[in-house]
Structures are given as C-alpha cells and as structure tokens.
C-alpha cells in the first residue's frame, strides 16, 4: 500500500540523519598528534606544510584539509544536534504523510458504505466540488479530492488530530485499539506522541531556541537517545495503526459479504 511505502521511505531518511549525526559528532578531545599527521600526509602525498584537523566520530575518522570551510569545532555538540532536529522533524512528517494517505485511500469506500461516517457527511465542501460531482461519473474520486484538499492544511500529528482525521473513514476508538495493538497503555502512548509533536513544533516554528528570560535564544537540548527512541516509537505506532485501520476494513468487508 502506498501509505506504508511512503512512511518507510521517509522513516529511513530520518534514521539516516540520526546515523550521520552519530558518525560526524566529534568525540576527540585534543588535536591530532604531529607525528600521526606527518605520517598521514606522507602516505597521502600531501605537502608537509599543509595543516589538517581530525574528527573522530563513531567508528569513523574525518580529515579536514587546509582551506576547508568547516573546522573540527563545527563537529562538536551542539552544532551536530541540528542533524538530530532534522531527523525528528522527518519522522513526524513521515507519520503525518502516512495518516493523510490512509484517509485518502479509504475515504471513497467510507462514502460508498451503507452508513457513511457522520464526520464525513458533516465535512464541508465547496460549490466547485458539488459541480464537479454533479457533472462527473466517478463520485468517489471527487469525494477523495475534496477530502484531500480539506486536510491539506491540517497536520495529523497530535492524538486528537489523528483520531479526528480517521473518523472521516469510520475508525472509532482509535487510540484504544492502537495502544492495545502496541501492547502499551493508551494514556502513555498519547502522552508520548504529544511530547514528540511538541518537540517537532519547537524545532519547526521556534528554531528550537529557548524564549526564557535567562535562556533567550539558547539551543534547547536534544539528545540522540531521545531521537532514536522517537523514531522507533513512531515506527511501532504506524505499524500498529496499519493493522488497526486495514483490519477494520477487512471486518467491514467480511460483514457485508455475510450480510451481517
């Protein structure tokens, strides 16, 4: 399904950014020894007079030659934390895209069902949508287009927004079902997602800079452990969501086939 594939591609980008942070974050406490630098330059056939700096990341060594616009100090925290910020934004965006695509995928089926969801029937459409639906033959496609436009400016990142969006395709008690699928407490899942969504908001809309009187414009702390945990949490959430949403439609299809 396109929604799941889209999520996996974007999730891998988030994971890549996290791993790049781990590789590039300089763990070296002092400058490279002169004898090591001399031997290295001789091996590379570089000028002996050329200065260089060494960055020691996780299982990686980066050599910065003379004239490089970046210096070893640029690979120290908190500068490398920007890669973690990009990773966190990417994983939340991946989740957002997943839910948008799932709603668009199932909204036509929900509209054609015997009892369309109340949230879908109450959704506002434009006169233009009505005119296209009246002239066209593919009513479901017009409904999908209208809902996609309706949701285009609505992020699906908080528990409340996600459950409201999924109500358009008839998914009820979503957080009860998905937390059960994850094997976790509903309140814990919702609170954790709220914190991650808030952290993403601080990065995207506030530059991740503190606005306190004593900490004005100072970077907010963001650890690699927090970002790694957020990636795997959202991955688990989306996988469980997929089981809940597709499972709900499989049950509906089975019920329609038996007439129940």
User: What are the extents of the domains in the chain?
Assistant: 77-258
pLDDT of residue 131: 65
Mean pLDDT, residues 202-214: 87
Residues 6+ apart with CB under 8 A from 184: none
Confidence band, pLDDT 50/70/90 cuts, at residue 257: very low
Using 50, 70 and 90 to split pLDDT, how confident is the model at 136? low
- Is pLDDT at 237 greater than 90 in this prediction? yes
Residue 30 token pair: 């002092």
> In sequence order, which ranges of the chain are alpha helices (DSSP H)?
2-24, 34-44, 81-112, 118-121, 127-135, 139-151, 159-166, 174-182, 186-206, 224-258
Return the top range by mean pLDDT from 42-46, 111-115, 253-257.
42-46
* Over residues 176-199, mean pLDDT: 97
Vertex 163: Cα angle to 159 and 169 (nearest 5)? 155
What confidence category does residue 144 fall into, taking pLDDT thresholds of 50, 70 and 90? confident
Where does the pLDDT of residue 63 fall: very low under 50, low under 70, confident under 90, or very high at 90 and above?
very high
Q: What is the mean pLDDT of residues 204-231?
A: 89
Is the confidence at residue 134, as pLDDT, over 70? Answer: no
- In percent, the amount of the chain with pLDDT more than 90 equals 67
Please tell me the predicted confidence (pLDDT) of residue 215.
Answer: 75
* Contact of 6 with 97, CB cutoff 8 Å: yes
CB 25 within 8 A of CB 57: yes
3-state secondary structure (DSSP) of residue 89: helix
Tell me the mean pLDDT in the region 47-59: 94
Measure the CA–CA gap between 124 and 117, rounded to whole angstroms: 14
Angle at 139 between CA 136 and CA 143, to 5 degrees: 120
Over range 153-174, report the average pLDDT. 94
Task: Compute the average pLDDT of residues 205-225.
Answer: 86
- Do the Cβ atoms of 200 and 92 come closer than 8 Å? yes
Q: Which whole number is the average pLDDT over 33-56?
A: 95
Q: What's the Cα-to-Cα distance from 219 to each of 20, 85, 198, rounded to whole Å?
A: 20, 11, 16
Chain mean pLDDT for the chain: 88
Tokens of 250: 């499989």
pLDDT range class, residue 255, cuts 50, 70, 90: low
Q: How buried is residue 188: exposed, middle or buried, by Cβ count under 10 Å (0-12/13-18/19+)? A: exposed
To the nearest whole percent, how much of the chain has pLDDT over 70? 88
62 Cβ contact partners less than 8 Å away, ≥ 6 residues apart: 24, 54, 55, 75
Q: Supply the pLDDT for residue 221.
A: 92
194/110 Cα distance (integer angstroms):
28
């Amino acid at each position: 399904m396109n929604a799941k594939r889209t999520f996996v591609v974007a999730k891998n980008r988030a994971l890549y950014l996290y791993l790049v942070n781990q590789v590039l974050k300089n763990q070296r406490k002092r400058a490279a020894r002169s004898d090591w630098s001399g031997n290295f330059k001789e091996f590379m056939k570089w000028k002996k007079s050329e200065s260089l700096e060494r960055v020691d990341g996780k299982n990686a060594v980066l050599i910065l030659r003379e004239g490089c616009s970046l210096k070893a100090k640029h690979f120290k925290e908190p500068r490398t934390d920007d890669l973690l910020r990009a990773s966190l934004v990417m994983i939340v965006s991946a989740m957002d895209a997943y839910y948008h695509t799932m709603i668009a995928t199932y909204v036509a089926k929900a509209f054609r069902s015997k009892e369309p969801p109340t949230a879908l029937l109450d959704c506002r459409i434009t006169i233009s949508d009505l005119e296209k639906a009246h002239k066209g033959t593919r009513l479901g496609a017009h409904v999908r287009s209208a809902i996609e436009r309706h949701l285009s400016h609505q992020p699906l990142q908080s528990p409340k927004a996600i459950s409201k969006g999924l109500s358009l395709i008839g998914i009820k008690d979503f957080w009860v079902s998905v937390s059960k699928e994850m094997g976790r407490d509903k309140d814990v899942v919702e609170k954790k997602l709220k914190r991650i969504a808030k952290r993403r908001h601080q990065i995207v809309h506030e530059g991740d800079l503190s606005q306190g009187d004593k900490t004005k414009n100072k970077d907010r702390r963001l650890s690699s452990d927090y970002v790694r945990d957020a990636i795997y949490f959202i991955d688990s959430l989306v996988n469980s969501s997929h089981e809940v949403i597709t499972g709900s439609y499989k049950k509906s299809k089975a019920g329609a086939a038996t007439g129940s």
